[in-house]
Amino acid sequence: RERGWGPTSRAQFDAARGPKGAQFVGSPAEVTDKILAAHEVFGFDRFMIQMAIGVMDHAELMRAIELFGTKVAPELRRATARADTQAALG
């Protein structure tokens, strides 16, 4: 249980982590692709992520943070900079 919610079923988890779901879970490339897809729809310029600290051990959490900072964030910056440049050039 987390935050008063009952256990998540496998079907619920799979739907939430899928392309249109609310969870950003997977490899750095999968997370990057999902954030970029959301960016195309919503046009946001900030993205805030929350990691559930109660369900991961410390080493896993630190590794997830490291991957987000070293793999996901740099690729998001590159991709959005390219899109901004293309938009400016018309």
Q: Which among 69, 75, 66, 60 has a CA at the least distance from the CA of 29?
A: 75
User: Which tens digits make up the pLDDT trace of 13-31?
Assistant: 999 999 889 999 999 999 9
- Is the model's pLDDT at 79 over the cut of 90? yes
pTM: 0.81
pLDDT tier at 68, thresholds 50, 70, 90: very high
pLDDT of residue 25: 92
DSSP string of the chain? -BTTB-PPPHHHHHHHHSTTSS---SSHHHHHHHHHHHHHHH--S-------TTTS-HHHHHHHHHHIIIIIHHHHHHHHHHHHHHHHH-
User: Which tens digits make up the pLDDT trace of 37-57?
Assistant: 999 999 998 999 988 777 889
